[in-house]
């Protein structure tokens, strides 16, 4: 444990899972059932400043300039509580978060958000952690956040056992993909917040979906294939595995009781445009998270054509083209 840095600012980018995390075996420690693998993006960063304030009575949390409320505020203050327990420094904090990605719309805002909060918060409270430790810590905010600590491709290990053993074993680390630098065309078909939080949807899926176990088992096989496809830099293989893994995850939710359906008519229209691109000879593969937005993996040279096809399929949607991006980092000089 180092001396509290008092104030620190960190920047983190969202990541999009190619092999999804869905379902927790420990909700308090945020331990996933399955390993997951993602690409950190170079767009839509979150910037978070954490400043300790010994004169304050409670934490202050603002999100894009407005006071955070309800569940969002509670998740941040729970995380600050964890930082205080670990550091032995019990001062309240002022947290200011700026998102360039809509919060709660299934676009990994919790991934970039908790990666930035873990990094800035650990520095402010004086926790001396390496990147693995930071990734374990970020996992406590949101399991997908553990992956945003790393550049490019990263795997989050689900770990084994229970309690402290599970906690130690569940962290993210980089995955080699030396010659793989694709584009990910992000189609924001609906920027509103989702109707069911991913936390609630995961719980319902694990508890009630008869398809969940089958998907989890197939996901293990997908992961092994994905690693070799990434090593080969094989876009078609990476895309095929990612697309089936995502559709399988959504199938588990559709089979939950009651069903959780994040895919909207616009989502399906974009999925159709991806199929048309493929039949026209353009390699393009889709993945969707806990929301209606679609992310399309393709060669960088095809990104403009893919973006155009997606816009045509869902008029009015905003499209952002991403590449692999950097892991979370502290901003020096600011703070």
**Binding region for ligand PMV (CB under 6 A):** 17, 20-22, 36, 110-111, 142-144, 198-199, 289-290
Q: In the complex, which residue's CB is closest to ligand PMV?
A: 17
95, 56 contact by CB (below 8 A): no
Tokens of 66: 């407005």
Residue 224, H or E segment = helix 212-232
20, 247 contact by CB (below 8 A): no
Q: How far is the CB of 248 from ligand PMV (least distance, A)?
A: 12
Q: How far is the CB of 180 from ligand PMV (least distance, A)?
A: 19
Report the C-alpha gap between 124 and 217 in whole angstroms.
40
Which of 126, 285 has the CB closer to ligand PMV?
285
Paired with 98 in beta bridges are 47
Helix (H, G, I), strand (E, B) or coil at 16: strand
Q: How far is the CB of 21 from ligand PMV (least distance, A)?
A: 3
Which of 92, 113 has the CB closer to ligand PMV?
113
Paired with 36 in beta bridges are 156
Which of 87, 146 has the CB closer to ligand PMV?
146
Report the C-alpha gap between 93 and 55 in whole angstroms.
10
273, 312 contact by CB (below 8 A): yes
Which of 270, 309 has the CB closer to ligand PMV?
270
Q: How far is the CB of 245 from ligand PMV (least distance, A)?
A: 10
Q: How far is the CB of 198 from ligand PMV (least distance, A)?
A: 4
Report the C-alpha gap between 124 and 144 in whole angstroms.
22
């Amino acid at each position: 444990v180092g001396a509290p840095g008092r104030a620190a600012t960190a920047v983190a980018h969202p990541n999009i899972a190619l092999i999804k995390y869905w379902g927790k075996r420990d909700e308090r420690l945020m331990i996933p059932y399955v390993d997951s693998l993602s690409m950190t993006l170079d767009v839509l960063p979150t910037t978070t400043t954490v400043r300790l304030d010994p004169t304050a009575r409670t934490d202050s949390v603002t999100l894009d300039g407005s006071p955070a409320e309800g569940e969002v505020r509670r998740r941040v203050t729970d995380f600050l509580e964890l930082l205080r327990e670990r550091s032995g420094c019990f001062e309240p904090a002022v947290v200011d978060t700026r998102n360039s990605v809509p919060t709660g719309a299934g676009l990994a805002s919790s991934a970039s958000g908790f990666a930035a909060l873990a990094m800035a918060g650990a520095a402010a409270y004086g926790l001396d952690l390496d990147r693995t430790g930071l990734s374990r810590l970020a996992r406590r905010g949101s399991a997908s956040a553990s992956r945003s600590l790393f550049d490019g491709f990263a795997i989050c290990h689900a770990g084994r056992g229970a309690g402290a053993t599970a906690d130690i074993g569940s962290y993210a680390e980089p995955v080699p993909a030396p010659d793989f630098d694709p584009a990910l065309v992000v189609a924001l078909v609906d920027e509103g917040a989702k109707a069911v939080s991913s936390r609630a949807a995961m719980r319902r899926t694990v508890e009630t979906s008869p398809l969940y176990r089958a998907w989890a088992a197939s996901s293990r096989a997908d992961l092994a294939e994905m690693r070799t496809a990434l090593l080969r830099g094989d876009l078609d293989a990476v895309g095929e595995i990612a697309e089936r893994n995502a559709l399988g995850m959504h199938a588990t939710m559709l089979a939950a009781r009651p069903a959780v359906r994040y895919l909207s008519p616009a989502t399906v229209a974009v999925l159709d445009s991806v199929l048309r691109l493929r039949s026209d000879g353009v390699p393009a593969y889709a993945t969707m998270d806990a929301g209606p937005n679609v992310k399309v993996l393709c060669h960088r040279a095809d990104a403009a054509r893919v973006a155009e096809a997606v816009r045509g399929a869902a008029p009015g949607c905003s499209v952002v083209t991403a590449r692999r991006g950097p892991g979370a980092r502290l901003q020096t000089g600011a703070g």
